Amino acid sequence: MIAVVQRVSESSVKIEGEVKGEIGAGLMVLLGIEDADDTEDIQWLSKKITNMRIFNDDDEVMNKSVQDVNGDILLISQFTLHASTKKGNRPSYIRAAKPDVAIPLYKKFIAQVEADFGKKIQTGEFGADMKVSLVNDGPVTIIIDSKDKK
């Protein structure tokens, strides 16, 4: 699994002009799932995201997690994170999991994040044409690959 984690002051996702999810201060997370991902990836990545200290403390040092600042999380599925650009100019998405594999893992990931985070998160809709808006705070953007955990 690959996650692009952005510290935001606000973020939202619209589907067909309707707001599906929105948050104030917190994290907007883009999530890419591949066939090789499993429960271990879900658990590790969820804990990493919910505990990552990328929010400022009183001394303006990034020393607090999204939980510490009582922030929110908006999670968006994005298969294009697994694009291969090695050959030619048209990305290949061969590594991205097909919906029959990805959707159950995406739902398990949402449940795991909510369990680790201790509250409901906002989400987009798997496979939908989504319009994502955000104000990146900092800017702070972190890329995490669960395959790099060891």
- Is 123 an active-site residue? no
Query: What distance in Å separates the CA atoms of residue 44 and residue 108, rounded to the nearest whole number?
Result: 13
Query: What distance in Å separates the CA atoms of residue 117 and residue 71, rounded to the nearest whole number?
Result: 10
Query: What distance in Å separates the CA atoms of residue 136 and residue 41, rounded to the nearest whole number?
Result: 26
Does the CA dihedral 32-33-39-41 come out positive or negative? negative
Does the CA dihedral 105-115-52-150 come out positive or negative? negative
Which one-letter DSSP state was computed for residue 147? G
Q: Which entry of 39, 50, 80, 85 is annotated as an active-site residue?
A: 80
Q: Which residues are catalytic?
A: 80
